[in-house]
């Protein structure tokens, strides 16, 4: 008896546990439970702890309410220009009505896949290959609109539709690669040509500027060289002019006559004999006759008088310093000091010759051999002795 009671109690306990298990149902978060009573929809259980009638109510489905991602295998689609491309799609959707998703369609995943394939064929069939490859956003928008409209009655909301890949045939890929390679080669050639053109232009401009600068430098150099040559020629001409004036003044101050010319001729005779062609040089034995002949010959020269008389005339030699053209540099301190020293020496010599300051201004000279009478009473008359005949030099050995 006791054993039978224990068995009954154990069976009763098991029954109670089973009833409790059938009565209390726990639905996870973001899930929805579809309850059926005798095979008919009774209610939808929310997430959490729920109590149902045991052995009568049955939780048939647990629907996931989260957004789901489904990637479909590639589907072959023919474009408008009769080219077959393989398109992979990815769809993001969410169940918003668990009852409709359970009872309105048997398999909503397969239904979405088929609608996606048919919609892709309709959209891509109106595009050529180039438009298909560059119009992903247009295809995505078209797919989403069609799918959202078709799946609304199934309790499904399509969030996004993405084209994962569009693969043209291998032959088209090869052609496209060649076309792209040719286009890039063309752009590279164009860029290279433009670079070479810019380089040639810059090089030509550099050479032009260099030639211009060289020409300007040569022009300025020639101008400066010509100015230097002109100033040097002017200075040489002024120096020669001053030398001639000095000699001319000395000749006038010395009152030359035929005797001076004869003396100068005698000084030049050794130089005449220095020539290589002058092997024999004969000096006349009658040197006095030679001097007379020399004097008669020199007397025929215009401007050389036989005798000099009259007052001494001072010739104006002009400025002692060379006159440079305007713009020339005349600020050389050493040259100024030298010119000033020369002028001081000339003044000192004139003062020493005539203390009264009028030496050489008025004097009379008589013929050679006669006394010279000075107009100035302070100057004593000087008698020039007549020239004595000189003994002729011995003739050189033949």
Domain membership of residue 71 (yes or no) is yes
Q: Pick from 119, 149, 168: which residue ends a domain?
A: 168
User: Are residues 45 and 83 located together in one domain of the fold?
Assistant: no
What is the value of pTM for the model shown?
0.45
Domain membership of residue 269 (yes or no) is no
User: Are residues 158 and 73 located together in one domain of the fold?
Assistant: yes
At residue 194, the pLDDT reads 94
User: Are residues 92 and 24 located together in one domain of the fold?
Assistant: no
User: Are residues 80 and 162 located together in one domain of the fold?
Assistant: yes
Q: Pick from 103, 138, 168: which residue ends a domain?
A: 168
Domain membership of residue 18 (yes or no) is yes
User: Are residues 59 and 150 located together in one domain of the fold?
Assistant: no
User: Are residues 77 and 117 located together in one domain of the fold?
Assistant: yes
User: Are residues 85 and 153 located together in one domain of the fold?
Assistant: yes
Domain membership of residue 386 (yes or no) is no
User: Are residues 8 and 83 located together in one domain of the fold?
Assistant: no
User: Are residues 76 and 155 located together in one domain of the fold?
Assistant: yes
User: Are residues 73 and 128 located together in one domain of the fold?
Assistant: yes
Domain membership of residue 82 (yes or no) is yes
Range of the domain at 28: 2-64
Domain membership of residue 132 (yes or no) is yes
CATH number at residue 86: 3.30.479.30
Domain count along the chain: 2
In this prediction, the residues of the chain whose per-residue pLDDT falls under 50 are 285-286, 298-302, 310-311, 313, 315, 322, 324-331, 355-398
User: Are residues 81 and 20 located together in one domain of the fold?
Assistant: no
Domain membership of residue 385 (yes or no) is no
- Give the CA count within 13 Å in the CB-facing half-sphere of 284: 12
State pLDDT tens for residues 18-53. Answer: 888 888 888 999 899 999 988 889 999 999 888 888
Q: What's the rounded Cα separation, in Å, for the pair 48 and 44? A: 12
Domain membership of residue 206 (yes or no) is no
User: Are residues 35 and 72 located together in one domain of the fold?
Assistant: no
Q: Pick from 138, 168, 198: which residue ends a domain?
A: 168
């Amino acid at each position: 008896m006791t054993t039978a009671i224990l068995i009954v109690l154990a069976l009763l306990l098991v029954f109670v546990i089973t009833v409790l298990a059938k009565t209390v149902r726990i639905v996870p978060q973001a899930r929805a439970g579809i309850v059926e009573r005798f095979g008919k929809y009774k209610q939808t259980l929310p997430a959490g702890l729920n109590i149902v009638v045991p052995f009568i109510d049955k939780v048939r489905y647990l629907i996931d309410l989260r957004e789901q991602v489904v990637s479909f295998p590639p589907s072959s689609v023919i474009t408008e220009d009769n080219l077959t491309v393989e398109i992979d799609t990815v769809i993001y959707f969410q169940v918003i009505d668990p009852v409709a998703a359970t009872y309105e369609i048997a398999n909503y995943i397969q239904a979405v896949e088929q609608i996606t394939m048919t919609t892709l064929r309709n959209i891509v069939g109106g595009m050529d290959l180039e438009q298909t490859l560059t119009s992903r956003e247009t295809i995505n928008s078209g797919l989403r609109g069609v799918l959202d409209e078709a799946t609304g009655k199934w309790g499904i909301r399509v969030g996004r539709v993405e084209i994962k890949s569009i693969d043209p045939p291998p032959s088209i890929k090869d052609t496209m690669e060649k076309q792209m390679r040719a286009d890039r080669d063309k752009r590279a050639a164009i860029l290279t040509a433009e670079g070479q053109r810019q380089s040639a232009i810059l090089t030509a401009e550099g050479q032009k500027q260099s030639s211009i600068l060289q020409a300007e430098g040569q022009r300025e150099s020639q101008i400066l060289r010509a100015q230097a040559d002109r100033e040097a020629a002017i200075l040489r001409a002024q120096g020669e002019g001053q030398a001639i004036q000095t000699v001319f003044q000395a000749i006038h101050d010395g009152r030359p006559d035929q005797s001076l010319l004869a003396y100068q001729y005698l000084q030049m005779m050794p130089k005449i004999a220095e020539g290589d062609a002058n092997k024999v040089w004969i000096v006349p034995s009658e040197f006095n006759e030679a001097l007379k002949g020399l004097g008669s010959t020199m007397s025929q020269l215009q401007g050389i008088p036989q005798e000099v008389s009259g007052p001494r005339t001072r010739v104006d030699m002009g400025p002692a310093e060379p006159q440079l053209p305007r713009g020339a540099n005349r600020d050389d301190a050493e040259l100024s000091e030298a010119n000033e020293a020369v002028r001081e020496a000339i003044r000192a010599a004139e003062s020493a010759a005539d203390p009264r300051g009028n030496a050489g201004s008025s004097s009379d000279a008589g013929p050679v051999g006669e006394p010279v009478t000075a107009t100035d009473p302070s100057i004593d008359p000087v008698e020039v002795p007549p020239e004595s005949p000189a003994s002729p030099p011995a003739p050189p050995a033949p």
